[in-house]
Structure 1
């Protein structure tokens, strides 16, 4: 599909389509780009990095389109070629690798391979300690909540972030607070709900103060109602 097109331009176009949610087109294009780059016997680090990005997109889009067996095969290739790229380039990014294992956890779980999913989520959290979102996902996807219960005390209080109520450890990906509460239940769930209620009250009070401040700037007299001589 890409022919002699520059791989750098091809991956940029592919990523743009992926972010636009054009699933079917992305799958076709990503498959073609992966096949094209895999056929290159001696790849530079730059081309190897593009192959990794293409495999990452292909894994995600296959998973989102319900093609779980193909997605499992592709995520395996992603891990293999990412490791090869890290080794040859000396550019190691544990957070990026953790993100790939996080995706892999969902793929294996969707394929009903719970053991593989659990291992993938665990690898994610090992590479990025304190990854509460991965601990939540393995609890929901695999019924294993031990790691979530272990990490929860390190998360601190609930925070409001982009319209959602989350728990977060350091700069790691946040986890939805209510979903954490639903898994852990009991006193933990009650504590989380109280914290959310308190935040909501604070936000409502802040909104009320803002409205009052805006209203105070509105003239109380309609000067246009006065007649002029």
Structure 2
């Protein structure tokens, strides 16, 4: 009865519309209601053991949003079991698509992004061992993932191995070019935009060159 009441209240009879509404609430900074909606939305879909393919797609998207919301709300501890469910349901979705629509698999969000989420959640809890493992899996699945390497350094500080991964990612990213009035990595696999990224990349490149030259006075500073 409570689930039915909340479904009517939040208009959850249309899953796609519900996901868009949750995203709008996040953009507006309405984190409490977005958490309630994401929790109810994913619980409702998980309760349906005979989900159609489109419902499975919506569930995976909802779980990703739920993880992101919990991280933003400093509830990383609650996010860990959710990201584990996310891994399980994503794998289930891929198995379903392999049997029925393999051409859709490349259009899915890459699994590396979910390990990036997991790394961020563990790091926010101060669990650096599991965080490093998750970030490492992300890099194995998506080599030279600049964003994940950057987040690892920001979350755990300039730890030697994490910093070296970031330096390697930046070196592999190639030159920064201007595209549509925004800085962008020339190599598509390493794309990111925004002035913050451009400035940070410049510092990292300076750090990388200093290391190569054997200097100690690096321009990198913990952020």
TM-score range, shorter chain: 0.7 to 0.9
Q: Residues of 2 paired with 1:130 and 1:146: CA distance? A: 11
Cα distance, 1:133–1:13 mapped onto 2, change above 3 Å: closer
Query: Is the Cα–Cα contact under 8 Å of residues 98 and 123 in structure 1 kept in the other structure?
Result: yes
Is contact 1:105–1:120 with CA below 8 Å preserved after alignment? yes
Q: In the TM superposition, what is the alpha-carbon distance from 1:84 to its structure 2 partner?
A: 0.8
Query: C-alpha displacement at 1:61, in angstroms?
Result: 0.4
Offset of 1:155 from its aligned partner? 2.1
Give unpaired runs (5+ residues) of structure 1. 191-229
Question: Among 148, 151, 159, which residue is 2:177 paired with?
Answer: 159
Query: Aligned pair in 2 of structure 1 residues 140, 103: CA closer, same or farther (>3 Å)?
Result: same
In structure 1, what is the equivalent of residue 80 of structure 2?
72
Under a length normalisation based on structure 1, what TM-score does the superposition of the two structures give?
0.71
Deviation per CA, 1:79-118: give whole Å up to 9, x if none.
Answer: 1111111111234347532222222221111011112211
Q: Distance in 1 between matches of 2:180 and 2:73?
A: 27
2:36 counterpart of 1:28: yes
**Relative to 1, partners in 2 of residues 1:51 and 1:5: Cα closer, same or farther, differing over 3 Å?**
same
Note the C-alpha offset of 1:36.
Answer: 0.9
Aligned match of 1:145 in 155, 163, 168?
Answer: 163
SS in 1 for 2:150: helix
Q: Does 1:123 align with 2:137?
A: yes
- Aligned equivalents of 1:11 and 1:86: distance in 2? 20
2:146 is matched with: 132
The answer to whether the 8 A contact 1:133-1:173 is kept is no
Per the alignment, residue 178 of structure 1 pairs with 199
Alignment of 1:1-229 (within 5 A): 1-3=6-8, 5-90=13-98, 91-93=104-106, 95-142=109-156, 143=159, 144-160=162-178, 167=185, 169-174=187-192, 176-182=197-203, 186=207, 188=209
Whole-Å Cα distance in 1 between the matches of residues 71 and 186 of structure 2? 26
User: How many angstroms apart in 2 are the aligned matches of 1:114 and 1:173?
Assistant: 27
> Helix, strand or coil for the counterpart of 1:66?
coil
- Cα distance change of structure 1 residues 125 and 163 upon mapping to structure 2, 3 Å threshold: farther
Tell me, in whole angstroms, the C-alpha distance in 1 between the residues paired with 2:64 and 2:93: 13
Structure 1 window deviating more from structure 2 (162-171 vs 18-27): it is 162-171
| Runs (5+) with no aligned partner, structure 2 | 1-5, 99-103, 212-223
Instruction: Note if contact 2:184-2:191 (Cα within 8 Å) is conserved in structure 1.
Output: no
The aligned counterpart of 1:212 is: none
Q: In the alignment, what sits opposite 2:220?
A: none
Distance 1:63 1:85, change over 3 A: same
CA RMSD in angstroms, aligned pairs only: 2.9
Q: Which has the larger Rg?
A: 1
